[in-house]
Structure 1
């Protein structure tokens, strides 16, 4: 079953001098339930822009984004917000945790917009998810009291607490050391597999990308499937520095 589909999607922005910058050019992509996709590319190649389109945070300049077969461009803002909130979980590179709020309060946040049992059980569900990511001893800790790896696990718990069908991870190990990053990716893979959720990871780290089943490279606004073999490791990314965009 196809969860999200992009057909001939483009994304342009107008610069201060009124010139138009093409970020994405004719992107076609399907992501099915239970799929694991990695998208690699140099900094500034448009990876985060593509992730925002997949997550329905942004609209394409042209082309169609569909979720479960329905074009999202035709939806009203409220309906789109509810669809995204229920079905999409975001794991950001910079964590985006609320300062001064406990781990429990951060994970509860997406459930504040839920209805019925999920809303009234939000504290219990947050505790269960924090326990699942190994932070049952950190329920009342604020981000300032947590290590980078612990903050990332809180961010993962927040992304998954509503059991989304699509998980989008933007450089999820970019701010972590190698060992912690490996543990975070294993955790993300395991939880996604348990829920049969689709996982899309954008990264410039080929070791993270290699964990996926399908691999794509974004270059000059175009998305192409690649084989993540030795030749790709040596030539596809080149020297990558900075933060993905």
Structure 2
């Protein structure tokens, strides 16, 4: 069952000199419920623009985006906001935890927009989610007192607390050392799989991309499948990105 589908999506912007900059050029992608897809590409390849489209933060210049069998261009702004808040979780490279708030308070934040039982149980739900990612003993720690791996685990807990159907991970290990990054990616994959969420990892690291089930390369605005096994077999994998 398809959860997210992009059909010949383009994105371009008008430059001050009236020239048109084409960022994405006919991107087609189908992500099923529970799928794990990686998109790898260099800086400037259009990854951030694509992430904004996948997360319903922006609209394409042409082409169609379908989320949960709904054409997103036909949704009102409020409907897009509700879908994004309820069904999409974002995990960023720099963690984006709120300073001056404990790990528990950070993870509780998305629940402030919930209603009914979820809202009143937000502290318990956040506590359980932090325990699930191994931070049960760090509930009252401020972000600056957490290691990089712990901050990323808190960010994962915050992204998953409303049980999103789609998780978008933007360079989720970019600020971590190799060992901690591998641990975080394993955790993210396990949690996504156990909850049935689709996971899209956007990265420049082929080793991180290899952890997904399906692999794509974004190059000069064009998205194409990539043979990760072949890339990893090369002595300098970056040349294929």
Contact 1:100 1:144 survives alignment (8 Å): no
Asked if 1 retains the 8 angstrom alpha-carbon contact of 2:206 and 2:237, the reply is no
Deviations 1:17-67 (CA, angstroms, capped at 9, x unpaired): 332211100111010011000001111101121111111011111111111
Residue of structure 2 equivalent to 1:153: 153
- 1:134-145 equivalences under 5 Å are 134-145=134-145
Q: RMSD between aligned alpha carbons?
A: 1.4
Distance across 1 between alignment mates of 2:183 and 2:44: 27
CA distance in 1, matches of 2:177, 2:232: 23
Question: Is structure 2 residue 91 aligned with structure 1 residue 57?
Answer: no
- Matching residue of 1:118: 118
In structure 2, list runs of 5 or more residues that go unmatched.
none
1:166 and 2:170 aligned: no
Partner of 1:238: 239
- 1:179 equivalent in alignment to 2:179: yes
CA contact (8 A) 1:206 1:233 kept: no
Partner deviation per Cα, 1:223-243 (whole Å, 9 max, x = no partner): 001111234663763298xxx
Structure 1: state its 5+ residue gaps: 241-245
Residue range with higher mean Cα deviation, 27-36 or 16-25: 16-25
> Does residue 206 of structure 1 match 2:206?
yes
Partner of 2:80: 80
Distance 1:98-1:56 versus aligned 2 partners, 3 A rule: same
Residues 73-113 of structure 1, C-alpha deviation per residue, up to 9 Å, x if partnerless? 11111111111111000001111111111111111111111
Distance 2:178 2:136 in 1: 24
User: Counterparts of 1:153 and 1:91 in 2: how far apart (Å)?
Assistant: 10
Partner of residue 12, structure 2:
12
**Structure 2: distance between partners of 1:233 and 1:9:** 32
1:226 and 2:220 equivalent? no
Query: Is residue 105 from structure 1 mapped to residue 110 from structure 2 by the alignment?
Result: no
CA contact (8 A) 2:91 2:167 kept: yes
Aligned-partner SS, 1:110: helix
Q: Secondary structure at the match of 1:58?
A: coil
Q: How far apart in 2 are the matches of 1:113 and 1:233? A: 47
**TM-score scaled by length of structure 2:** 0.96
Matched with 1:69 is 69
> How far apart, in 1, do the equivalents of 2:82 and 2:174 lie?
29
TM-score, structure 1 as length reference: 0.94
Aligned equivalents of 1:233 and 1:187: distance in 2? 26
Q: Measured at CA, do residues 236 and 72 of structure 1 come closer, stay the same or move farther in structure 2, by a change above 3 Å? A: farther
Q: How far, CA to CA, are the matches of 1:217 and 1:232 in structure 2? A: 14
Structure 1 distance, partners of 2:34, 2:141, is: 33
